[in-house]
């Protein structure tokens, strides 16, 4: 820029007033598009107009402007370079973080898969154990039901035996007391009894009719007098 301006000034140096040549050369150089640069140069030239040679002042001012422009340009380049380096560093950091995040995500996916697989295995084991417990529980329930049924059968047989013993014992005691009192018609009774022996079993009759046993009555005599007419159960022939 400086060389071009000096060249333009040099071409017109012998064509008239030097200051006019410089001003005209400067205007041709900046054209009509950069009014701010033109105004700044004219302002700086004006400040030094009375300090010495006008051409030297203009040249010095121009050099200062060129240095300022170069300094600003270098500052912009340096700032841009710093910004570029910063962005490059940030980009590298971002790439590093992105790689770390990808590795972390992959690790988490792997851990989730392992946990899921382990959970499924444990769940299957638990289901198998529950199924086994249910089978064992079913077996125990069946055994308990069979045991309960057996106990009920035993209890029923025990109850029947107890009742039979009580009935027979009661009858034996009561009948012993009344045995002699009923001998007044013994001959008739013996004849009737012999006819009824095949009809009832005395023990079964007493079990089927506990009130007869409790009263101490002879089962055959009761059957002949009351039971047959009342339609009482004989208890079978047993």
Is residue 112 in a domain? no
Given a cut of 50, is residue 204 above it in pLDDT? yes
For the residues 171-181, what does the mean pLDDT come to?
Answer: 55
Give the structural domain span for 87: 2-92
Q: Inform me whether the pLDDT recorded for 138 exceeds 60.
A: yes
Indicate whether 129 belongs to any domain: no
Domain end call among 60, 92, 124: 92
User: 182: how many CB neighbours lie within 10 A of its CB?
Assistant: 13
Any domain includes 14: yes
Give the pLDDT of residue 188.
46
The answer to whether residue 144 is domain-embedded is no
* End-of-domain residue from the set 92, 117, 151: 92
Q: What is the dihedral of CA 107, 113, 119, 124, to 10 degrees?
A: -150
Q: Can you tell me which residue has the tokens 């007033």?
A: 17
Residue at which a domain ends, from 42, 62, 92: 92
Tokens of 205: 């009759």
**Residue 169 pLDDT > 80, yes or no?**
no
pLDDT tens digits, 26-69: 556 555 545 666 566 566 555 444 444 555 666 666 677 778 77
């Amino acid at each position: 820029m400086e060389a071009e301006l000096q060249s333009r000034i040099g071409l017109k140096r012998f064509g008239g007033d030097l200051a006019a040549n410089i001003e005209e050369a400067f205007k041709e150089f900046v054209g009509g598009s950069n009014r701010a640069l033109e105004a700044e140069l004219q302002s700086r030239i004006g400040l030094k107009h009375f300090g010495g040679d006008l051409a030297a002042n203009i040249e010095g001012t121009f050099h200062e402007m060129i240095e300022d422009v170069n300094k600003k340009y270098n500052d912009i380049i340096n700032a841009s370079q710093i910004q570029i380096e910063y962005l490059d560093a940030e980009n590298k950091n971002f790439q590093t973080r992105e790689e770390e995040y990808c590795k972390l995500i992959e690790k988490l996916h792997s851990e989730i898969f392992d946990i899921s697989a382990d959970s499924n295995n444990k769940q299957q084991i638990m289901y198998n154990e529950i199924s086994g417990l249910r089978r064992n529980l079913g077996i125990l329930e069946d055994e308990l039901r069979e045991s309960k049924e057996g106990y009920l059968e035993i209890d029923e047989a025990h109850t029947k035996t107890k009742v039979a013993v009580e009935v027979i014992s009661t009858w034996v005691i009561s009948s012993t007391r009344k045995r002699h009192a009923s001998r007044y018609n013994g001959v008739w009774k013996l004849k009737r009894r012999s006819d009824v022996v095949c009809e009832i079993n005395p023990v079964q009759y007493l079990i089927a009719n506990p009130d007869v046993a409790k009263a101490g009555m002879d089962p055959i005599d009761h059957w002949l007098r009351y039971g047959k007419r009342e339609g009482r159960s004989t208890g079978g022939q047993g």
